[in-house]
């Protein structure tokens, strides 16, 4: 396997725990797990938006629902072995105008036939929430089953559990992939000259996938093209009086979990040291260079930020690159050739779609699709 971001790590973990021998290769992989880098996992805030997905059928819908259920099962399995992953329930999708409010109403009518527990919140109810919501909020759709989990905590738990099951990790860069000897299986050629042969090769290396495919087959690379989309995020420390209202269930007027405003996620993290953290993100920027203006607009919520957000102290900012498919829907779960699997291009939903993606790879391997 190539790529030790969250999707790659989870896939390696699932294969190893289900009885397959896995070699996981990534230049950022060390003895203690993946080191900080610019992968999509490092840009992610871990928001899980499955029930409030805009569609009610199709591949994207099925993957989201399956992943949400799998996260529950995986968390239980890992917790039983002393590797818990905290998940904070509740998500409030805010409407910025009447048109968005109308879309939420239509979505709710559809979801009621499926009994997913969604509830429309009127502007009067939202106005009573503390701290104050973004200016111009026209309504909201609350999902008690969606929520957020920490992607780095999940990455660490999966890595340590996979190592305990016998996973082999190698912190090297892959220079090329080639057909194996006699055309059977696949060969990895590393930057230091090492070579590894395997019946199956799984590519989960995000924005590095196009380069590897181009060296193997330019036409294949063009057919499954990916482009990097940069995302910036902020970790803010809230004033003490504001932070007290974020703890879910602390007060009837407190936020009911994560807030989503015009594609921006506001993620209370009272579980982090100090109990006053708020994660804010992420931007959607083309190219490889972070734009300071985009970060400023993020902090200001595009001009809709309530006053208390401006009073928060910046603790850190970070960014990562998310792979977006060109001309195809995300994610790319494809058999490119016998034994060669692609699990990438998750764009902004890598954390949510991680379990279903890993399960797809497992099914291909166990079904002998190669």
Cβ atoms of 65 and 49 within 8 Å: the answer is no
Q: Which of 129, 84, 135, 158 is nearest to 248 (CA)?
A: 129
Give the whole-angstrom CA distance, residue 370 versus residue 361.
11
Name which residue leads in pLDDT, 249 or 31. Answer: 31
Examine the pLDDT at 370 and tell me if it is beyond 50. no
Share of the chain above pLDDT 90, in %: 86
Helices 350-367 and 151-164, packing angle to 10 deg: 30
Give the whole-angstrom CA distance, residue 352 versus residue 363.
19
For the segment 124-164, what is each residue's pLDDT rounded down to a tens digit? 999 999 999 999 999 999 999 999 999 999 999 999 999 99
Q: Average pLDDT, whole number, for the chain?
A: 93
Q: How confident is the model at residue 254 (pLDDT cuts 50, 70, 90)?
A: confident
Work out whether the CA dihedral 78, 79, 83, 89 comes out positive or negative: positive
Both tokens assigned to 257 = 């979990």
Note the Cα 84 to chain centre separation in Å: 18
pTM of the model: 0.95
For the segment 66-115, what is each residue's pLDDT rounded down to a tens digit? 999 999 999 999 999 999 999 999 999 999 999 999 999 999 988 777 76
Examine the pLDDT at 166 and tell me if it is beyond 80. yes
Q: Which of 126, 149, 150 is nearest to 136 (CA)?
A: 126
Worst-scoring range by mean pLDDT, 216-220, 222-226, 238-242, 331-335?
A: 238-242
The DSSP output letter for 35 is P
- The Cα diameter of the chain in Å comes to 70
Give the whole-angstrom CA distance, residue 118 versus residue 108.
7
Examine the pLDDT at 34 and tell me if it is beyond 50. yes
What average pLDDT does range 200-223 have in this prediction?
Answer: 96
Q: DSSP letters along 272-334, please?
A: STTS-EEEEE---EESSS--HHHHHHHHTGGGT--HHHHHSEEEEEEEEEEEEESSS-S-EEE
List the domains of the chain with CATH numbers.
Answer: 6-41+154-227+327-367 (3.50.50.60), 88-147+228-323 (3.30.9.10)
Res 249: pLDDT: 46
Both tokens assigned to 267 = 């993620």
Give how far Cα 9 sits from Cα of 159, 196, 197, Å: 6, 19, 20
Question: What's the angle, vertex CA 325, arms to CA 321 and CA 329, rounded to 5?
Answer: 125
Residue 98 CB-density burial (10 A; 0-12 exposed, 13-18 middle, 19+ buried) = exposed
Helix ranges (DSSP H) in the chain? 6-17, 40-43, 58-80, 98-112, 123-127, 151-164, 209-216, 218-223, 240-243, 292-299, 307-311, 350-367
Q: DSSP letters along 157-215, please?
A: HHHHHHHHTT-EEE---EEEEEE-GGG-SEEEEETTS-EEEES-EEE--GGGHHHHHHH
């Amino acid at each position: 396997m190539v790529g030790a971001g969250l999707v790659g790590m989870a896939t390696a973990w699932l294969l190893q725990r289900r009885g397959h021998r896995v070699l996981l290769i990534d230049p950022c992989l060390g003895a203690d797990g993946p080191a900080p880098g610019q992968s999509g996992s490092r840009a992610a805030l871990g928001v899980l938006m499955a029930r409030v997905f805009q569609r009610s059928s199709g591949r994207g819908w099925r993957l989201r629902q399956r992943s949400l259920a799998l996260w529950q099962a995986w968390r239980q399995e890992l917790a039983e072995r002393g590797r818990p992953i905290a998940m904070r329930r509740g998500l409030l999708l805010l409407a910025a105008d009447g048109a968005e409010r109308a879309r939420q109403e239509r979505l709710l009518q559809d979801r009621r036939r499926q009994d997913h527990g969604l509830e429309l919140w009127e502007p009067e109810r939202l106005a009573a929430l503390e701290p104050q919501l973004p200016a111009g909020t026209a309504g909201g759709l609350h999902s008690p089953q969606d929520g957020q989990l920490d992607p780095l905590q999940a990455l660490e738990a999966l890595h340590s559990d996979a190592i305990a099951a016998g996973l082999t990790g190698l912190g090297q860069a892959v220079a090329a992939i080639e057909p194996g000897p006699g055309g059977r299986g696949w060969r990895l050629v590393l930057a230091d000259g090492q070579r590894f042969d395997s019946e199956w090769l799984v590519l989960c290396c995000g924005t590095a996938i196009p380069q590897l495919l181009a060296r193997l087959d330019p036409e294949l690379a063009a057919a499954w093209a990916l482009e990097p989309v940069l995302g910036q995020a902020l970790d803010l420390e809230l004033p003490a009086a504001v932070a007290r209202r974020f703890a879910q269930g602390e007060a009837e007027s407190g936020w009911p979990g994560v807030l989503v405003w015009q594609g921006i996620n506001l993620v209370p993290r009272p579980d982090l040291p100090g109990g006053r953290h708020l994660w804010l993100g992420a931007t959607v920027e083309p190219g490889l260079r972070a734009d300071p203006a985009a970060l400023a607009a993020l902090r200001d919520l595009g001009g809709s930020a309530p006053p208390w957000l401006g009073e928060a102290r910046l603790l850190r900012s970070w960014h990562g690159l998310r792979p977006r498919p060109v001309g195809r829907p995300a994610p790319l779960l494809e058999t490119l050739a016998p034994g060669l699997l692609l699990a990438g291009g998750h764009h902004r939903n890598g954390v949510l779609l991680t379990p279903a993606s890993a399960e797809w790879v497992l099914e291909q391997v166990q079904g002998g699709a190669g």
